[in-house]
Chain A
Amino acid sequence: MTTTPTRAPLASPLESFPDQTLADRAADGDMRAFEVLVRRYGPLMRVYASRVLGSNDEMDDVVQEAFITAWQQLPTLENGAAVKSWLMRIVSRKSIDRVRARRRHVDIDLTDAAAPEHESPHRLVEAESQTEELTRVLATLPEDQRRCWMLRELAECSYGEIAEQLELPVSTIRGLLARARKTLLHEMEEWR
């Protein structure tokens, strides 16, 4: 065994705890542990929700609903170490439910509604313009391709998990992902 350095002082020791411990403790009713998880993964979940919804309007509601569901269902999560992807699946499902409900009310093409939000009128540094360009291209992807892409690249879901969420066969998911990649790559070559 090697000698271990003294633990660095931290604002709250909970903040340094691994996901597994935080999920276990939150499952047992530790709200402070839950709060650390909210702060750790909430920002990513908000980014995800805003991208899937195409706007920030409903993001707060969707992420809040996701965390309320997570709090209720945490005792059923078997592997606490997988809490990140579990949370991403919940927020994804809530976002998709919201989009479906919205479509039932207003029959609009959601691809149009998904315009990027922070589009700057002038090009800044190269790196920034690239991410902006990618944001723009992502928004022009057909809805099903974009959702597949987000689930894969942002939520890091497996093909099977994506299929389950989008209620599509795995073979379709494989195709949609390949097409999303092809389109995005094609666009990337253009501004290269």
Chain B
Amino acid sequence: MTSSNDPSATSVADDDTARELAQYDGHTFEQLSEYLDRDRTPANPSIDGSPECQIALKGMQRLRKAHRALLDEDVRREVEGGDGWVSSILAHISLEARAGRDIPIEHPSPAARLVVTEGAVRGILRAAGDSLPNIIVGRCGLDGDVTVPGTPITVRVDASIREGENIPATADALRQAVYAALRQHTDLTVAAVDITIRDLYAGVAAAAAPRTESSTDE
């Protein structure tokens, strides 16, 4: 074989490119592929106006649709296969990773080291929200030195409220529930409960739209 009969990879690619440019009205397949992935924005009139390009893009979309169908099928099969794998994952998850600080519980005995973890307290803050209708608690935290008894603590709670509900009244109900839960389960000195309504959710919680109607209630 002589070198002239043995074109390098580069010239093969160049041939392909030239063929594509001719086929797709001056565009390469790669450009079209990227255009699709950019959701066709910004709009390129030269691509949008070319029947050849549109055929190629339609093909890629057909492919994507077929692949989604395949994926749905695979996921459905996977779900039908049972969820035994879930419990073995959960068995490897440790609460310790989120224990946080140790919050002391008073006791007259000098040998007593009684504590409730910050993680456990966060849990009761969430539970306080879950016990109420029309509100969902997200993140929460305790500001201040919880490890020293008697230190005033500020409780921070982020929440979503269902659309149409009275925001101050719903937030206040949560505040009362939070105070009650902390009184019941801890010796903390609560100075304030700051509730931030991060968003409103519509009807069913799953349909919650990320809105930024936020109001710090103080």
Asked if A and B form a direct contact in the complex, defined as CB atoms under 8 angstroms apart, the reply is yes
Q: Are A29 and B66 in contact (CB under 8 A)?
A: no
Q: Contacts of B160 on A, CB cut-off 8 Å?
A: 21
Bound Cα distance A174, B164 (Å):
47
Contact with A along B60-77 (1 / 0, CB 8 A): 101110111111011101
Whether a CB of chain A sits under 8 angstroms from the CB of B194 is no
Most buried by B among A2, A28, A130, A178: A28
A127 to chain B, nearest CB (A): 8
Interface residues of B in 161-213 (CB under 8 A from A): 162-164, 201-206, 208, 210
Q: Contacts of B138 on A, CB cut-off 8 Å?
A: 20-21, 24-25, 80
Whether a CB of chain B sits under 8 angstroms from the CB of A39 is yes
Q: Are B126 and A25 in contact (CB under 8 A)?
A: yes
Whether a CB of chain B sits under 8 angstroms from the CB of A188 is yes
Q: Are A43 and B30 in contact (CB under 8 A)?
A: no
Q: Are A2 and B92 in contact (CB under 8 A)?
A: no
Most buried by A among B83, B85, B95, B158: B85
Task: From known contacts A68-B93, A135-B70, infer whether A29 and B37 are also in contact, taking CB-CB under 8 Å.
Answer: no
Q: Are B63 and A181 in contact (CB under 8 A)?
A: yes
Q: Are B67 and A153 in contact (CB under 8 A)?
A: yes
Most buried by B among A20, A21, A46, A134: A21
Q: How would you classify the secondary structure of chain A's contact residues: helix, strand, loop or mixed?
A: helix
Whether a CB of chain B sits under 8 angstroms from the CB of A60 is yes
Contact of B163 among A1, A130, A153 (CB under 8 A): A1
Whether a CB of chain B sits under 8 angstroms from the CB of A44 is yes
Q: Are A17 and B136 in contact (CB under 8 A)?
A: yes
Interface residues of A in 157-179 (CB under 8 A from B): 159, 174-175, 177-178
Find the B residue at minimum CB distance from A46.
B78
Q: Contacts of B139 on A, CB cut-off 8 Å?
A: 24-25, 27-28
B196 to chain A, nearest CB (A): 12
Q: Contacts of A76 on B, CB cut-off 8 Å?
A: none
Whether a CB of chain B sits under 8 angstroms from the CB of A142 is no
Whether a CB of chain A sits under 8 angstroms from the CB of B106 is no
Question: How many A-B contacts at CB < 8 Å in the complex?
Answer: 160
Whether a CB of chain A sits under 8 angstroms from the CB of B112 is no
Find the B residue at minimum CB distance from A4.
B164
Bound Cα distance A63, B75 (Å):
14
Q: Are B79 and A43 in contact (CB under 8 A)?
A: yes
B16 to chain A, nearest CB (A): 10
Whether a CB of chain A sits under 8 angstroms from the CB of B97 is yes
Residues in chain B within 8 A of chain A (CB atoms): 28-30, 32-34, 37, 59-60, 62-64, 66-71, 73-75, 77-79, 83, 85-86, 88-90, 92-95, 97-100, 119, 122-123, 126, 130, 133, 136-141, 158, 160, 162-164, 201-206, 208, 210
User: Considering the complex of A and B, which 3 residue pairs feature the smallest CB-CB distances, nearest first?
Assistant: A29-B98, A178-B30, A24-B138
Known: A16-B204, A182-B29. 14 other contacts (CB 8 A): A5-B203, A13-B205, A18-B201, A28-B98, A28-B122, A42-B83, A43-B75, A47-B74, A68-B93, A130-B66, A153-B64, A153-B67, A178-B29, A185-B63
Residues in chain A within 8 A of chain B (CB atoms): 1-5, 7-8, 13, 16-18, 20-21, 24-25, 27-31, 34-35, 38-39, 42-44, 46-47, 60, 63-64, 67-68, 71-72, 75, 80-81, 118, 127, 130-131, 134-135, 152-154, 159, 174-175, 177-178, 181-182, 184-185, 188-189
